[in-house]
Chains A and B, each alone.
Chain A
Amino acid sequence: MNLILVTFIILLAFTSYYFGRKKALVIQSSQRLTALPKFYGYYLAAWCAAPALIIFVLWSVFEPSIVKTFILQDYTDQNLTKNELQLIYTKVKALAAGTYTGNITNFLDESANKYIQLKGIANSAKVAIILAILIFSLSFAYRSVQKNDRMREPVEIFLKWVLFAASLGAVLVTIGIIFSLLFEAIRFFQAVKIFDFIFGTHWYPAKTFVRDGQPDPELMKDAFGAVPLFAGTFFIAFIAMCVAIPIGLLSGIYLSEYAGRGVRKYAKPIIEILAGIPTVVYGFFAALTVGPFVKEIGNAMGLEVSSESALAAGAVMGVMIIPFISSLSDDVITAVPQNLRDGSYAMGATKSETVKKVIFPAALPGIVGSILLAVSRAVGETMIVVMASGLAANLTMNPLESTSTITAQIVVILIGDQQFGDPKTQSAFALGISLFIVTLFLNVIALSVVKKYREKYE
């Protein structure tokens, strides 16, 4: 039904485009046109499609909730909770669609009939209203075409609004992220105190699972302490940076200051391949090759190493991050003005002394910015940790033991079927919002540092 309606509107818009253009050619024979003929077509088409489609979208968004309130009105006197009402509504919908398999009560049957009736009314009302709007807006537009009003300006203003609406898309995504995270997280914090979440040291959500009924509040208090996860996240990120910063920075410096054209031309893109490899591939590599390798070396040295050690995950993550640091620091160092180098050489400094004592301090803000970006990347990295590090949240600072991270726990909790309304599921959103805040914080600082740095040398 909806598909037919939308196709109809779009077809009508196309026809009105050709109609408008033809009309313009007719007008042309008697009076001077105000714009190119195609604008007459665009004008009609825009008036035809835009109002009808906007109404259509708004209707489709609001219709279900309005129907729902109508249906559930009959149940208000039964003192039901929100979840029970939701369940009844799902049953009514299933019954109306003919897919319901439970036992059918009279009341339910009545509601289903009402639902079908309401849906029918809503559908015919929708079609009627949209047809009315189409007729109204087309006749309005056709009148101004006949009067030979200015045609180009309205079309361009309309286009500009379309462009503006598109640019709001990015803002909408952000709002969507914040809402989806906040909504569930707030419900989580109603069940678990925010203090217990931020400062608790035991993360073991599986133990709160109770079949039917509410979990024990005493258990809840002790199951959602996120400290081990925060610690694990930053610990693995720290290991990754220990690998990535020296290698990335040194290769960035070498590429920008020492390497000849040939080396630079080939080495830079080859290193950047490392950034293009999907993270799940790194995860597989870490779990299958690096993990056992680390374990073997550790065992040979007489150390006890978990086969899912933080070291393996962190090291592989570090390799993934090398190109971020190397190309960003390469850019930053290249941006340092040549006269600083020339001044240093003129004083008799060698190249490495120039790099260490002149260029590096000058480029430091930019380098710090790029490192912060890389840290935010490491904190948000998921697949490597899921596959190569442990899933049990240990509070440890031993790189040879397994730890877990925020991202890994989100995956562990949400993989498979989720039940909304369960504190375990909601805890994933609480973790998500803390991850979002941490990375946002790092990014804002990094971007402003890099921006200030750019302005300094421009």
Chain B
Amino acid sequence: MLKNIGKNMNNFKKNFLKKRYNAERRFQWYGKIAIGLALTFLAVFMFQIFSKGYSAFQKTWIVTEVHYDKELLLIDAESPSKDDLENADYYDVAYKAMTSLDPGLPEEEDRQLIQMVSYKYETEVKDLLLKNPDFLGKIVPIKLTASDDIDQVHKGNYPRDIPEKNRRVNDYQLQIYDMLNERGDILSEFNISFFTNPDSREAELAGIASSFMGTVFSILVCLAFSFPVAVLAAIYLEEFAPKNKFTDFIEVNINNLAAVPSIVFGLLGLGILLAVFNLPRSTPLVGGITLSLMTLPTIIIAARASLKAVPPSIREAALAMGASNMQTTMHHTVPLSMPGTLSGTIIGLAQALGETAPLILIGMVAFVNTIPGTPVDPAASLPVQIYIWSESAERGFVEKVSACIMVLLAFLILMNLAAQIVRHKFEKKWS
């Protein structure tokens, strides 16, 4: 009897232990799965962006022949000057260049061929002659930007097996495309215009130059406003502020400001900067100031942390040598805290860089097809460009958005790397 109980006890203990150990293992697995899920999200995300976006870095050209016929250009002069070439009529020449691809086509169907290239093809025809004036009167090969539908067909992003009436590219155009492709007259080259063109309504011409410059200007304005104020404020709060109610209030204020949703800053920019101070709408100046209000608390917090990390012995040594409080701070504490402050600043700016909502509110979503030269010209910014393009229904913009995201992420990675380098290279380790 007793023996049996002992045996049961043993069994019970064994099972109980087994259960507990299983629970232990299960719990570990939950943790591993959670981390795995988080990493999977990141991987899927990156894969999606890259697989959709890499093709935007390729541009499709259609090669054809153009005859710079003086008569069609309406040039009378024997040896035309630059002005004559500038003012010539390129409509017919460009038109002929495209229709020569299929001479048998009846005239009223010509639009189908013209639609295969970007609507700016006339300008491209003109630019080639302006660059090489000796082409006048000759027949030369020319590269024309393919329309974004042909571009998508060439990249294989466009399904060809759906019924013709649901397709933006009709059977005839596909047939011409196939013929050109077989001849090797469809070229794929690195898409420089994606980086040098401003925004456009046509996907094949749209580029990020305007929004990129907008981003650069906003970040510079943001830096110019937030960095000095934040560093000075951090010095005061950490080194000079007396401990009283008012300092506490400032401190609570800063901490709460850091967690205010970004869109509220957009409302502030709209309600004060635009409505009260009448600053120019849609400009990087207003965008930068709005973002600087947002980054202010981030930089203050980082600067204070790195001031706090300077050991008191440094201050004591300086004071012992007869330096005043201000001299101790300005000559010793602040320079020693700079690496941490700078890396905090860069991280704050990187956050501001990805911000979209406040910029939309102050009007930086306006369609801008010029490249801004100063901070008071209307501009978009990279994240806003992503938003604008992703609202567009055209298929060609999907890859543009993904490519724009890649540029933005590259920018962010560079900034974060810079922050790391500043921190590790220049920061002193106090042990």
Contacts and interface: CB of A to CB of B under 8 A. Distances in A.
Interface of A: 152, 156, 159-160, 162-164, 166-171, 173-174, 176-177, 179-181, 183-184, 246-251, 253-255, 258, 267, 270-271, 273-274, 276-281, 283-285, 287-289, 319, 322-323, 326, 350-353, 355-356, 373, 376-377, 379-383, 386-387, 407, 410-411, 414-418, 420, 428-429, 432, 435-436, 439-440, 443-444, 447
Interface in B34-57: 34-35, 37-39, 41-42, 45, 48-49
A443 B264 contact: no
A432 B271 CA distance: 11
A447 B267 contact: no
Contacts of B259: 373, 376-377, 439, 443
Nearest to A447: B255
Contacts of A380: 260-264
A247 B387 contact: no
A183 B265 CA distance: 15
B272 A176 contact: yes
Contact of A439 (B253, B260, B300, B324): B260
Interface stretch (B196-204, B233-241, B368-376): B233-241
A425 to B, nearest CB: 9
A167 B275 contact: no
Given A176-B293, A279-B357, A387-B387, 7 more contacts: A167-B237, A168-B250, A183-B271, A274-B38, A283-B387, A350-B23, A439-B264
Contacts of A156: 324-326
A276 B416 contact: yes
A429 B269 CA distance: 12
Residue among B240, B357, B363, B386 facing the most chain A CB atoms (10 A cut-off): B357
Nearest to A285: B45
A432 B264 contact: yes
A164 B236 contact: yes
22 contacts: A169-B233, A173-B257, A174-B256, A176-B293, A251-B34, A258-B31, A267-B39, A271-B35, A271-B38, A278-B354, A281-B386, A281-B408, A284-B390, A285-B48, A350-B21, A352-B27, A382-B357, A383-B356, A410-B263, A414-B267, A436-B261, A440-B256
A287 B34 contact: no
A440 B250 contact: no
Contacts of B262: 380, 382
A393 to B, nearest CB: 17
Given A274-B38, A319-B41, A414-B270, A382 B356 contact: yes
Nearest to B26: A352
B120 to A, nearest CB: 27
Nearest to B359: A280
B31 A177 contact: no
B205 interface: no
Interface string B384-427: 10110011000000100100010011001000100000000000
A179 B277 CA distance: 14
- Chain A CB count within 10 A is highest, among B30, B271, B296, for B271
Interface residues on B, range: 35 or more
A383 B260 contact: no
B38 A251 contact: yes
> What 5 pairs across the A-B complex have the smallest Cβ distances?
A380-B261, A254-B31, A278-B354, A180-B271, A166-B232
Contacts of B386: 280-281, 284
Given A284-B386, A319-B41, A411-B360, A250 B30 contact: yes
A436 B249 CA distance: 18
Nearest to A319: B41
Contacts of A251: 31, 34-35, 38
A428 B270 CA distance: 11
B251 to A, nearest CB: 9
A409 to B, nearest CB: 11
A19 B338 CA distance: 31
B30 A277 contact: no
Contacts of A254: 28, 30-32, 34-35
A249 B232 CA distance: 38
Contacts of A283: 387, 390
B348 interface: no
B28 A279 contact: no
A167 B390 contact: no
Contacts of B33: 250
A181 B264 contact: yes
B158 to A, nearest CB: 16
A273 B255 CA distance: 23
A351 B264 contact: no
B355 interface: yes
A436 B260 contact: yes
**Most B CB atoms within 10 A — which of A166, A171, A277?**
A166
